[in-house]
């Protein structure tokens, strides 16, 4: 990976996938060639994650996709030293969509999703930044990438995250 121009390469992959999606092509596995796949792997990103952002392009901007990818990339490079964990969380291990803490429904779920996103452990059927995440984050006026970075900074301390979100809400 070239660190200096990774953003431009990410945008090229995004734009390529978006054109293909808009032309009716479906499936993350069909959007990228071997060079694209190697690049995505080098930043700790999966083809499915980028495909999800392209699929939701009308509601989730390229800028947001880039900022989320940057937070994940930073975690991958700094904390994981460029090595994936090799694990994937199970959907059944996520808090239910109606779980609440501090009066905020969805907060327990998005905390778990953010941790999985940072570690690169999202199952293919789960998206960080999905419609439910966006509705929650909009309600509390927090950007998806800012939430990721806060979860990273808080480590395993849910109370720090909850306190920060309730101050923002």
At 92-124, the pLDDT tens digits run 999 999 999 999 999 999 999 999 999 999 999
Helix (H, G, I), strand (E, B) or coil at 122: coil
- pLDDT of 1: 58
pLDDT of res. 36:
96
Supply φ then ψ for residue 104, to 5 degrees. Answer: -115, 105
Report the predicted TM-score, pTM, of the whole model to 2 decimal places.
0.94
Is 152 in contact with 76 (CB distance < 8 Å)? no
Residues of the chain with pLDDT under 70: 1
Domain boundaries, the chain: 1-84, 85-169
For 105, which DSSP code?
A: E
Q: Tell me the torsion sign for CA atoms 134, 89, 87, 50.
A: negative
């Amino acid at each position: 990976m070239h660190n200096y121009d990774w953003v431009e390469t990410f945008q090229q992959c995004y734009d390529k996938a978006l054109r293909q999606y808009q032309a009716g092509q479906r499936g993350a596995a069909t959007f990228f060639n071997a060079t694209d796949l190697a690049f995505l792997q080098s930043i700790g990103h999966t083809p499915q994650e980028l495909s999800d952002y392209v699929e939701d392009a009308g509601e989730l901007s390229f800028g947001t996709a880039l900022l989320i990818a940057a937070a994940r990339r930073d975690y991958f490079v700094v904390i994981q030293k460029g090595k994936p964990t090799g694990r994937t969380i199970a959907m059944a291990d996520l808090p239910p969509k109606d779980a609440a803490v501090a009066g905020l429904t969805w907060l327990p779920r998005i905390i778990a999703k953010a941790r999985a996103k940072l570690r690169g452990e999202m199952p293919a059927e789960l998206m960080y930044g999905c419609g439910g995440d966006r509705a929650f984050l909009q309600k509390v006026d927090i950007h998806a990438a800012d939430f990721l970075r806060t979860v990273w900074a808080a480590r395993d301390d849910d109370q720090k995250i909850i306190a920060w979100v309730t101050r923002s809400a």
